[in-house]
Amino acid sequence: MSLQNLSPAWSHLTEIVVDHAEGIYLYDAQGHRYIDFTSGIGVTSTGHCHPNVVRAIQEQASKLIFAQVNCAIPPQTLELAETLLPLMPKGIDCFFFSNSGAEAIEGAVKLAKTATGRPNVIAFQGSFHGRTALAMALTSSKTTYRVGYQPLPSGVFFAPFPYAYRYGWSEDEAVDFCLRELDLLLHTQTAPHETAAILIEPVLGEGGYVPAPPRFLQALRQICDEHGMLLILDEIQSGFGRTGEFWAHTRSGITPDVLIMAKGIASGMPMSAIAAPRNLMEKWQVGAHGGTYGGGNAVVMAAAIATVKTIQQENLVANAREMGEYLKDGLTELEGRFPVIGDVRGWGLMVATEFVKDGQPSADLTKAVSKASLERNLMLLTCGSYANVIRWIPPLVVNRAQIDESLHIFNDALESVLS
């Protein structure tokens, strides 16, 4: 088998050809076992091939695979909405299902523009919202995602994200600075009355795994209320228990106008959703948004229902919180021994180790440590605008012994790179 016939546009952390997978492990055809601490970029939260999800997919596939939602409605689509409802922030009771994160982001921005009659959106420095044209325009985590495609759709303005460690400030100083800059943006580039929405990841993902301080999200809520702008939260990576809360934003006590979800929602089946109050969704004329597959694939819906129920039945949110603390403690201990780890941060099982050399971001070191971990069969992804962050994002089913094994490998990898 060769990669020759696959587009070289895909970057590859590894060229492992996976034969099968279970829990936190991937296996190749030769039986080599890999610890998957990428979760397929935050997707396989219930672990690979969770029996509940496998059963739901198998049973559904023999009964109904697809009923295009404009033509006929699979009962699983209605059941998923009912299953998600109790987990929604107050007032949010209506869903638009689609396939990918980017598609849901674009849909949410379309909704915000239609609902407010305003053209502009504010996003944040370091944001990642996807690869389609408008999602790319809303993305600023790396130039790689934009080079060669600009000019992109207009009406997008970036404000700084309170990334305290990068600024070398306390969290409060970073929040104060970012709020001042946001205010300046609203006075100089996009007037409030032409700004439809503020779009933010409650935990900056690709941009470096930086949680937004609760005071910052609270201030955004207030600014949106004051000016009639919508607050759209992108919980595509941080949702479904990843941060030790079902939604990362609940740590700040705010309620969004629109919540976007994907990744962890269906254990690997392609699926995303825009959630908003019914009266906001009603601002969309019939036919104003759509798509062939969204909401119509009963197998995907069944996988999502099984995923949500499994997260609840197996207390995976609590496990993410507990294991996240355990992982962070272990990494903090390594930070004490290896000064190249400049910062350990994160919520739940969305944890970052940021690498620095002589006080500067070090992509080389980060890459070397990730490679050395991989040589020891531990898969770890990097992130960050300077590619100097290793992100820890294991399936939410991970246990202490598995974290111990991974920390042990990481310690060896660090020693080998730094010796």
Ligand X SMILES: Cc1ncc(COP(=O)(O)O)c(C=O)c1O
Tell me the window of 83-91, 231-239, 274-282, 295-303 that interacts with ligand X (CB under 6 A): 231-239
Q: Is the peptide bond before 202 cis (omega within 30 degrees of 0)?
A: no
CA separation for the pair 168, 166 (Å, rounded): 5
Establish if 262 lies at the interface with ligand X (CB under 6 A). Answer: yes
The piece of 95-103, 217-225, 298-306, 341-349 that touches ligand X (CB under 6 A) is 95-103
The reply on whether position 234 binds ligand X by CB under 6 A is: yes
- Is the Cβ of residue 205 or residue 241 nearer to ligand X in the bound state? 205
Q: Which is nearer to ligand X, 268 or 296 (CB)?
A: 268
Residues in 151-180 that interact with ligand X by CB under 6 A: none
Q: Give the span between the Cα atoms of 42 and 183, in whole angstroms.
A: 33
Using alpha carbons only, give the angle 405, 409, 413 rounded to the nearest 5 degrees: 170
Looking at residues 100 to 129 of the shown chain, list those that interact with ligand X (rule: CB under 6 A). Answer: 100-102, 105, 128-129
Q: Which stretch binds ligand X (CB under 6 A): 3-11, 199-207, 336-344, 411-419?
A: 199-207
Closest CA to 34 of 395, 376, 324: 376
From candidates 236, 248, 299, 413, binder to ligand X by CB under 6 A = 236
Nearest approach in angstroms of CB 204 to ligand X is: 8
**Is the CB of residue 373 less than 8 Å from the CB of residue 349?**
no
Rounded-to-integer distance, Cα 322 and Cα 245, Å = 11
- CA terminus-to-terminus distance, the chain: 37
Pairing of strands 18-22, 25-28: antiparallel
Q: Is 141 in the site for ligand X (CB under 6 A)?
A: no
In angstroms, give the least distance from the CB of 144 to ligand X.
13
In this structure, what token pair is assigned to residue 186?
Answer: 């609203």
* Rounded Cα gap, residues 342 and 354, in angstroms: 6
Q: What is the DSSP string of 68-125?
A: -TTT---HHHHHHHHHHGGGSPTT--EEEEESSHHHHHHHHHHHHHHHH---EEEEET
Pairing of the two strands 258-261 and 272-276? antiparallel
| Strands 195-200 and 210-211, sheet pairing | unpaired
Q: Which is nearer to ligand X, 221 or 242 (CB)?
A: 242
User: What are phi and psi for residue 256, nearest 5 degrees?
Assistant: -80, 165
- Euclidean distance between CA atoms 64 and 182, whole angstroms: 49
Residue in 106, 201, 343, 354 binding ligand X, rule: CB under 6 A:
201
Q: How far apart are CA 107 and CA 169, in angstroms?
A: 36
C-beta closer to ligand X: residue 146 or 227: 146
Which residue lies nearer to ligand X by CB, 102 or 352? Answer: 102
At which residue do the structure tokens 């600023």 appear? 140
Region of 4 (left: φ > 0; alpha: ψ -120 to 50; beta: rest) is: alpha
Nearer to ligand X, 122 or 409 (CB): 122
Contact segment (CB under 6 A) with ligand X among 45-53, 160-168, 232-240, 386-394 equals 232-240
Q: With contacts defined by CB under 6 A, name the span among 118-126, 201-209, 243-251, 274-282 that binds ligand X.
A: 201-209
The residue range among 15-23, 96-104, 153-161, 280-288 that interacts with ligand X, by the rule CB under 6 A, is 96-104
Please state the closest distance from residue 135 (CB atom) to ligand X, in A.
Answer: 7
Among the listed residues 237, 243, 362, 366, the single contact to ligand X using CB under 6 A: 237
Joined together, the tokens standing for residue 269 give: 């089946």
Of 205, 239, 268, 346, the one binding ligand X (CB under 6 A) is 205
Q: Which is nearer to ligand X, 102 or 179 (CB)?
A: 102
Closest to ligand X by CB, 105 vs 407, is 105
Q: Which residue is nearest to ligand X (CB)?
A: 101
How many amino acids of this chain bind ligand X (CB under 6 A)? 15
User: Which is closer to ligand X, CB of 129 or CB of 289?
Assistant: 129
78 to 53, 82, 345: CA distances (angstroms): 18, 6, 38
* Complex with ligand X: residue 261 or 327, whichever CB lies closer: 261
CA atoms within 13 A on the CB side of 276: 27
- The binder of ligand X chosen from 13, 16, 21, 41 (CB under 6 A): 41
Q: Are 196 and 113 spatial neighbours (Cβ–Cβ below 8 Å)?
A: yes
Of 126 and 213, CB closest to ligand X = 126
**Least Å distance between CB 130 and ligand X?**
4
Residues that bind ligand X (CB under 6 A): 41, 100-102, 105, 128-130, 201, 205-206, 234, 236-237, 262
